[in-house]
Amino acid sequence: MKRILVTGAGGQIGSELVPALRARYGSENVIATGHVSPLPEEVSAGPCAYVDVTKYSQVDDAIKECRVDTVFHLASVLSALAERNRRDAYDVNFNGMNNVLEAGVANRLDMVVAPSSIAAFGPETPSDNTPNDTVQKPNTVYGISKVFSELMGNYYSTKLGLDVRGVRLPGIISWKVEPTAGTTDYAVAIFYGAIREGRYTCFLSPETRLPMMYMPDAISALMSVAEADGSLLKHHADFNVNAMSFTPSELAAAIRERIPGFEIAYQVDELRQGIADSWPDKLDDTVAREEWGWAPRYDLDAMVDDMLENLGRKLGAAPAV
Ligand code: SER
C-alpha cells in the first residue's frame, strides 16, 4: 500500500480517513476523490480529483493517472436516503462497487478496501451478539447493496486475485463532518442539539438499541484490516467489528450526566425506525479479533466525553446547561 485513492472522500468517514492515511503514507500518496467539488477543507490540503464512481471511465482514469495501488471505496448512499431514492442508490452502491472492482482487476491493484455495514443483516438475523457468519437477508436497498459488496469482494478475492477487505461498520459518531441520511445519524445530531440548545428531538424510539462506534475506532478498523497479514485472513470483505451498543435513552442519560438540563423528546420516523428495528443490537466480533487483532478503544463514556469537548470547541459554545 504505497499510493492510495479514496472515493467518497468528502463524507463523514472520508474526511477523517484521508488525513489519517496521509499521516501514515505521506500526503502526496493519498488522493482524495469525490463527486462534489471542491472537497471539504479536511481533505483538500493534499491531492484531490473529481471522480463519480458511477462512471467506470472516471474510476479507471483516476487509478491510472494517479498510479495508485490501493483504493479505499467509501462512496455510498446511506440507508434512509437509499430507501427514498432507489435508482441513485443502485447506481452508486451497486454500479459504483462494480466499477471499482473491475477497474481494480484491470489495473492490477494490490487491494480494495470497501466498508460494509450492520445494514448487511436483517430481521431474521440473531440480533444479540450477531455471529460473523449467519443469516443476512437485509430488507433495505442499502443493506442489500452491502451484501452485494461483501459477496463480490469475497468473490474477487478468491477467484480473481484482487485482495478486497471490509468491515461491517455500525453507526459512526464523529464531530468533524456530519453523516448524511443514515438511520444512526441521531447519535451525532443529539450532540449538536445538546450543545446548541440543551435539547434534542429523536427520530428513533427511546429503547432502540444499535451498535455504534466512535470515529477514531472506525479509522483504526479500516486501516488495521488493510494492513493485516493477508496470509492470516480467512474472511475478506465481511468482518464484524463491535465497539459499543446503546439506546437513545441511554445516550441521553450519558449526556445528561454532563449537561444536567439536557432534555430529549421523541418523534418517531417510521421509515428509519423500521430500518433500525431490522438491524442487530450488538455484533460478535471474535473473528476480527482473532484474524487481525481488532480491539476498539472507546466505550460510551469515553466517546461522550470526547464528543462534548471537541464538538463544543468546534461550535464555539460552552455546553448548554
Ligand atoms: N450509519 C449507516 C446508516 O445509518 C449504517 O451503516 O445508514
Cα dihedral sign, 103-105-108-111:
positive
* Same-domain check for residues 219 and 250: no
User: Rounded to the nearest whole angstrom, what is the distance from the C-alpha of residue 79 to the centroid of ligand 1?
Assistant: 6
User: Rounded to the nearest whole angstrom, what is the distance from the C-alpha of residue 232 to the centroid of ligand 1?
Assistant: 29
* Same-domain check for residues 147 and 23: yes
Look at residue 287 and tell me if it is in a domain: no
For residue 235, the tally of other CB atoms under 10 A from its CB is: 21
**Residue ID of nearest Cα to ligand 1 atom 3:** 182
* Same-domain check for residues 135 and 150: yes
CB 43 within 8 A of CB 18: yes
Give how many domains the chain has, as a whole number: 2
Look at residue 320 and tell me if it is in a domain: no
Look at residue 150 and tell me if it is in a domain: yes
Within 6 Å (CB) of ligand 1, which residues are found?
A: 78-79, 117-119, 142, 169, 171, 182-184
User: What is the distance between the alpha carbons of residues 162 and 218, in angstroms, rounded to a whole number?
Assistant: 23
From 25, 56, 90, 142, the catalytic residue: 142
* Same-domain check for residues 39 and 145: yes
CATH at residue 186: 3.90.25
Q: What Å distances lie between residue 10 and 147, 177, 263, 281, CA to CA?
A: 24, 9, 32, 29
Query: What is the pLDDT at residue 33?
Result: 97
Look at residue 285 and tell me if it is in a domain: no
Active site includes 214? no
The whole-number mean pLDDT for each consecutive block of 10 residues of the chain, a chain of 321 residues, reads 95 97 98 91 94 98 98 97 97 98 98 98 97 98 98 98 98 94 96 97 98 98 98 97 98 98 98 98 98 98 98 81 50
Query: What does 22-84 look like in DSSP terms, one character per residue?
Result: HHHH-GGGEEEEESSSSPPHHHHTS-EEE--TT-HHHHHHHHHHHT-SEEEE-----HHHHHH
Query: What is the pLDDT at residue 1?
Result: 82
Look at residue 158 and tell me if it is in a domain: yes
CATH at residue 82: 3.40.50.720
Domain holding 166, by residue range, is 4-170+214-240
* Same-domain check for residues 79 and 105: yes
User: What is the distance between the alpha carbons of residues 2 and 25, in angstroms, rounded to a whole number?
Assistant: 7
* Same-domain check for residues 122 and 269: no
pTM: 0.96
* Same-domain check for residues 40 and 148: yes
Query: What is the pLDDT at residue 318?
Result: 62
Helix, strand counts (H, E) of the chain = 13, 16
Q: What Å distances lie between residue 68 and 8, 92, 99, 166, 316, CA to CA?
A: 16, 21, 16, 19, 39
Which atom of ligand 1 lies nearest, measured to the CA of 78? 7
**Residue ID of nearest Cα to ligand 1 atom 6:** 117
Helix axes 56-66, 96-106, angle to 10 degrees: 40
* Same-domain check for residues 160 and 52: yes
Look at residue 292 and tell me if it is in a domain: no
* Same-domain check for residues 189 and 275: yes
* Same-domain check for residues 43 and 159: yes
* Same-domain check for residues 16 and 112: yes
Look at residue 288 and tell me if it is in a domain: no
**Short-list 297, 14, 30, CA closest to 176:** 14
Element (H, E) at 170: none
Look at residue 129 and tell me if it is in a domain: yes
Query: What is the pLDDT at residue 317?
Result: 74
User: Rounded to the nearest whole angstrom, what is the distance from the C-alpha of residue 281 to the centroid of ligand 1?
Assistant: 14
* Same-domain check for residues 147 and 257: no
